[in-house]
Structure 1
Protein backbone atom coordinates (compact mmCIF):
# COMPACT_ATOMS: atom_id res chain seq x y z
CA UNK A 1 0.00 0.00 0.00
CA UNK A 2 1.16 3.53 -0.77
CA UNK A 3 1.69 6.25 1.82
CA UNK A 4 -1.05 8.32 0.14
CA UNK A 5 -3.77 9.37 2.55
CA UNK A 6 -6.47 8.93 -0.09
CA UNK A 7 -5.19 5.46 -0.94
CA UNK A 8 -5.16 4.53 2.76
CA UNK A 9 -8.85 5.46 3.03
CA UNK A 10 -9.65 3.63 -0.23
CA UNK A 11 -7.84 0.53 1.03
CA UNK A 12 -9.59 0.56 4.41
CA UNK A 13 -13.01 1.14 2.81
CA UNK A 14 -12.53 -1.94 0.62
CA UNK A 15 -11.14 -4.00 3.51
CA UNK A 16 -14.08 -2.98 5.72
CA UNK A 17 -16.57 -4.07 3.05
CA UNK A 18 -14.83 -7.44 2.76
CA UNK A 19 -14.71 -7.86 6.54
CA UNK A 20 -18.42 -7.04 6.81
CA UNK A 21 -19.20 -9.66 4.15
CA UNK A 22 -17.39 -12.27 6.22
CA UNK A 23 -19.10 -11.17 9.43
CA UNK A 24 -22.52 -11.73 7.87
CA UNK A 25 -21.88 -15.49 7.81
CA UNK A 26 -23.61 -16.93 10.91
CA UNK A 27 -21.18 -18.16 13.54
CA UNK A 28 -18.09 -16.87 11.75
CA UNK A 29 -17.36 -13.87 13.96
CA UNK A 30 -18.70 -11.97 16.92
CA UNK A 31 -17.91 -8.72 15.12
CA UNK A 32 -21.07 -7.12 13.66
CA UNK A 33 -21.01 -6.18 9.94
CA UNK A 34 -20.98 -2.41 10.59
CA UNK A 35 -17.39 -1.40 9.87
CA UNK A 36 -17.90 -0.19 6.29
CA UNK A 37 -20.65 2.22 7.38
CA UNK A 38 -18.32 3.59 10.05
CA UNK A 39 -15.36 4.01 7.69
CA UNK A 40 -17.55 5.84 5.17
CA UNK A 41 -18.99 8.08 7.89
CA UNK A 42 -15.54 8.92 9.27
CA UNK A 43 -14.20 9.63 5.80
CA UNK A 44 -16.91 12.29 5.41
CA UNK A 45 -15.58 14.23 8.42
CA UNK A 46 -12.36 16.06 9.14
CA UNK A 47 -11.03 12.71 10.43
CA UNK A 48 -10.18 12.07 6.77
CA UNK A 49 -7.03 14.16 7.27
CA UNK A 50 -5.64 11.29 9.37
CA UNK A 51 -4.54 7.80 8.36
CA UNK A 52 -7.19 5.21 9.30
CA UNK A 53 -6.46 1.73 10.59
CA UNK A 54 -8.22 -0.99 12.52
CA UNK A 55 -7.07 -2.62 15.71
CA UNK A 56 -9.03 -5.17 17.74
CA UNK A 57 -12.41 -4.35 16.12
CA UNK A 58 -11.74 -0.65 16.56
CA UNK A 59 -11.34 2.12 13.98
CA UNK A 60 -8.29 4.19 14.87
CA UNK A 61 -6.48 7.17 13.37
CA UNK A 62 -2.84 8.19 13.04
CA UNK A 63 -0.86 11.20 11.87
CA UNK A 64 1.25 8.94 9.64
CA UNK A 65 0.85 5.82 7.51
CA UNK A 66 2.89 3.46 9.71
CA UNK A 67 2.56 4.58 13.31
CA UNK A 68 3.49 1.11 14.56
CA UNK A 69 7.06 1.69 13.32
CA UNK A 70 7.27 5.32 14.37
CA UNK A 71 5.97 6.94 11.19
CA UNK A 72 3.14 8.89 12.82
CA UNK A 73 1.38 9.03 16.16
CA UNK A 74 -1.89 7.33 17.05
CA UNK A 75 -4.69 9.66 18.09
CA UNK A 76 -6.24 9.21 21.52
CA UNK A 77 -9.69 8.69 19.96
CA UNK A 78 -11.01 5.42 18.54
CA UNK A 79 -14.37 3.87 17.68
CA UNK A 80 -14.95 0.28 18.80
CA UNK A 81 -17.47 -2.17 17.35
CA UNK A 82 -19.50 -4.09 19.91
CA UNK A 83 -21.48 -7.33 19.43
CA UNK A 84 -24.89 -5.67 19.62
CA UNK A 85 -24.16 -3.74 16.39
CA UNK A 86 -23.26 -0.55 18.18
CA UNK A 87 -20.27 1.77 18.25
CA UNK A 88 -18.34 2.94 21.31
CA UNK A 89 -16.46 6.19 20.83
CA UNK A 90 -13.55 6.00 23.25
CA UNK A 91 -10.53 7.97 24.33
CA UNK A 92 -7.31 6.53 25.65
CA UNK A 93 -4.29 8.70 26.51
CA UNK A 94 -1.80 5.92 25.77
CA UNK A 95 -1.79 2.20 24.98
CA UNK A 96 -1.50 1.30 28.68
CA UNK A 97 -3.93 3.96 29.99
CA UNK A 98 -7.59 3.34 30.85
CA UNK A 99 -10.17 3.56 28.07
CA UNK A 100 -13.01 6.05 28.58
CA UNK A 101 -16.28 5.55 26.69
CA UNK A 102 -17.56 8.94 25.51
CA UNK A 103 -20.55 7.76 23.48
CA UNK A 104 -22.42 4.55 22.67
CA UNK A 105 -24.62 4.64 19.58
CA UNK A 106 -25.98 2.51 16.75
CA UNK A 107 -25.49 5.38 14.28
CA UNK A 108 -22.21 5.48 12.33
CA UNK A 109 -22.56 9.17 11.49
CA UNK A 110 -23.13 10.06 15.14
CA UNK A 111 -20.09 8.01 16.19
CA UNK A 112 -17.89 9.65 13.55
CA UNK A 113 -19.13 13.13 14.51
CA UNK A 114 -18.34 12.53 18.18
CA UNK A 115 -14.88 11.20 17.34
CA UNK A 116 -14.30 14.26 15.14
CA UNK A 117 -15.41 16.54 17.97
CA UNK A 118 -13.10 14.83 20.46
CA UNK A 119 -10.12 15.04 18.12
CA UNK A 120 -10.77 18.70 17.37
CA UNK A 121 -11.21 19.44 21.08
CA UNK A 122 -7.96 17.65 21.91
CA UNK A 123 -9.95 14.87 23.66
Structure 2
Protein backbone atom coordinates (compact mmCIF):
# COMPACT_ATOMS: atom_id res chain seq x y z
CA UNK A 1 0.00 0.00 0.00
CA UNK A 2 1.43 3.37 -1.00
CA UNK A 3 1.36 6.05 1.69
CA UNK A 4 1.39 9.72 0.82
CA UNK A 5 2.79 12.37 3.11
CA UNK A 6 3.06 16.00 2.10
CA UNK A 7 6.67 16.97 1.52
CA UNK A 8 6.32 20.06 3.71
CA UNK A 9 5.20 17.90 6.65
CA UNK A 10 8.15 15.57 6.10
CA UNK A 11 10.57 18.51 6.20
CA UNK A 12 8.92 19.88 9.38
CA UNK A 13 9.23 16.47 11.00
CA UNK A 14 12.87 16.10 9.96
CA UNK A 15 13.77 19.51 11.36
CA UNK A 16 12.18 18.58 14.71
CA UNK A 17 14.00 15.23 14.75
CA UNK A 18 17.30 16.87 13.82
CA UNK A 19 16.95 19.31 16.71
CA UNK A 20 16.61 16.42 19.14
CA UNK A 21 19.46 14.45 17.60
CA UNK A 22 21.82 17.44 17.64
CA UNK A 23 20.95 18.18 21.25
CA UNK A 24 21.53 14.54 22.25
CA UNK A 25 24.89 14.58 20.45
CA UNK A 26 25.96 17.87 22.04
CA UNK A 27 26.13 19.75 18.74
CA UNK A 28 25.66 23.51 18.57
CA UNK A 29 22.77 25.03 16.64
CA UNK A 30 24.98 26.11 13.73
CA UNK A 31 26.74 22.76 13.27
CA UNK A 32 24.98 19.49 12.69
CA UNK A 33 21.79 18.15 11.23
CA UNK A 34 19.67 21.24 11.98
CA UNK A 35 22.04 23.39 9.92
CA UNK A 36 21.93 20.84 7.08
CA UNK A 37 18.15 20.44 7.06
CA UNK A 38 17.68 24.21 7.24
CA UNK A 39 20.09 24.81 4.36
CA UNK A 40 18.55 22.02 2.25
CA UNK A 41 15.04 23.25 2.87
CA UNK A 42 15.80 26.45 1.00
CA UNK A 43 16.67 24.84 -2.32
CA UNK A 44 16.06 22.15 -4.88
CA UNK A 45 16.35 19.20 -2.52
CA UNK A 46 12.83 19.84 -1.25
CA UNK A 47 11.54 17.66 -4.08
CA UNK A 48 12.77 14.69 -2.02
CA UNK A 49 11.71 13.30 1.34
CA UNK A 50 14.45 13.88 3.93
CA UNK A 51 15.50 11.31 6.52
CA UNK A 52 18.26 11.29 9.09
CA UNK A 53 20.20 9.07 11.41
CA UNK A 54 22.42 10.23 14.26
CA UNK A 55 24.98 11.60 11.85
CA UNK A 56 23.71 11.80 8.30
CA UNK A 57 21.10 13.47 6.12
CA UNK A 58 19.67 11.40 3.29
CA UNK A 59 16.81 11.76 0.84
CA UNK A 60 14.31 9.45 -0.83
CA UNK A 61 11.75 9.63 -3.59
CA UNK A 62 8.92 8.52 -1.31
CA UNK A 63 7.92 8.89 2.33
CA UNK A 64 8.32 5.21 3.26
CA UNK A 65 11.24 4.00 1.14
CA UNK A 66 11.94 1.10 3.53
CA UNK A 67 8.46 -0.27 2.70
CA UNK A 68 8.90 0.10 -1.06
CA UNK A 69 7.31 3.55 -1.36
CA UNK A 70 10.27 5.31 -2.98
CA UNK A 71 14.00 4.75 -2.99
CA UNK A 72 16.99 6.51 -1.41
CA UNK A 73 18.65 8.89 -3.85
CA UNK A 74 22.35 8.38 -4.72
CA UNK A 75 23.93 11.11 -2.57
CA UNK A 76 23.95 11.98 1.12
CA UNK A 77 25.92 13.94 3.69
CA UNK A 78 27.39 12.92 7.03
CA UNK A 79 28.18 15.10 10.02
CA UNK A 80 31.81 14.85 11.00
CA UNK A 81 32.33 14.56 14.78
CA UNK A 82 34.83 17.43 14.52
CA UNK A 83 32.08 19.76 13.28
CA UNK A 84 32.28 19.46 9.53
CA UNK A 85 30.34 17.70 6.80
CA UNK A 86 31.25 15.03 4.27
CA UNK A 87 29.25 14.70 1.05
CA UNK A 88 29.03 11.24 -0.51
CA UNK A 89 28.04 9.99 -3.98
CA UNK A 90 26.16 6.72 -3.82
CA UNK A 91 23.53 5.09 -1.69
CA UNK A 92 23.69 5.46 2.09
CA UNK A 93 23.06 1.70 2.30
CA UNK A 94 25.17 0.27 -0.52
CA UNK A 95 28.91 0.48 -0.05
CA UNK A 96 31.27 1.73 -1.13
CA UNK A 97 30.01 5.29 -1.43
CA UNK A 98 32.47 7.81 -2.83
CA UNK A 99 33.51 10.82 -0.74
CA UNK A 100 33.31 13.96 -2.90
CA UNK A 101 33.59 16.91 -0.51
CA UNK A 102 34.62 17.81 3.03
CA UNK A 103 33.51 21.20 4.32
CA UNK A 104 32.70 23.06 7.53
CA UNK A 105 29.74 24.87 5.94
CA UNK A 106 26.29 23.31 5.71
CA UNK A 107 25.41 25.49 2.70
CA UNK A 108 28.44 24.17 0.79
CA UNK A 109 27.49 20.57 1.59
CA UNK A 110 23.94 21.20 0.39
CA UNK A 111 25.17 22.91 -2.79
CA UNK A 112 27.29 19.84 -3.58
CA UNK A 113 24.31 17.53 -2.97
CA UNK A 114 22.23 19.65 -5.33
CA UNK A 115 25.00 19.48 -7.95
CA UNK A 116 25.31 15.69 -7.61
CA UNK A 117 21.57 15.09 -7.81
CA UNK A 118 20.91 17.75 -10.43
CA UNK A 119 17.43 18.07 -11.92
CA UNK A 120 17.12 14.30 -12.36
CA UNK A 121 13.92 12.49 -11.47
CA UNK A 122 14.87 9.36 -9.55
CA UNK A 123 11.40 7.82 -9.52
TM bucket normalised to smaller: 0.7 to 0.9
- How many angstroms apart in 2 are the aligned matches of 1:15 and 1:36? 9
Structure 1 consecutive aligned stretches of length 4 or more whose deviation exceeds 6 Å: none
Give the alignment's TM-score, normalised by structure 2. 0.84
TM superposition shift of 1:22: 1.9
Distance 2:53 2:34 in 1: 15
Q: What residue in structure 2 maps to residue 11 of structure 1?
A: 13
How many residues are treated as equivalent by the alignment?
115
SS state of the match for residue 102, structure 1?
strand
The structure-2 alpha-carbon separation of the partners of 1:117 and 1:21, relative to structure 1 and needing over 3 Å to count, comes to same
Listed one character per residue, the Cα deviations across residues 72-107 of structure 1 (whole Å, up to 9, x for unaligned) are 011010001111111000011573331101100010
Of 14-23 and 43-52, deviating more is: 14-23
In structure 1, runs of 5+ residues without a counterpart are: 26-32
SS of 1:53 mapped into structure 2: strand
Checking the alignment, whether the CA contact within 8 Å between 2:55 and 2:78 is kept in structure 1 is yes
Distance 1:52 1:107, change over 3 A: same
Distance 2:57 2:92 in 1: 16
Alpha-carbon spacing, 1:94–1:57, altered in 2? closer, same or farther (3 Å): closer
1:121 shift after superposition: 6.7
Cα distance change of structure 1 residues 11 and 94 upon mapping to structure 2, 3 Å threshold? closer
2:80 to 82, 91, 108: 82
Determine if the alignment matches structure 1 residue 44 to structure 2 residue 46.
no
Contact 2:76/2:91 (<8 A) preserved: no
Q: Please list every run of 5 or more consecutive structure 2 residues that lacks an aligned counterpart in the other structure.
A: none
The root-mean-square deviation of aligned C-alpha atoms, in Å, is 2.1
Distance of 2:86 and 2:75 partners within structure 1: 10
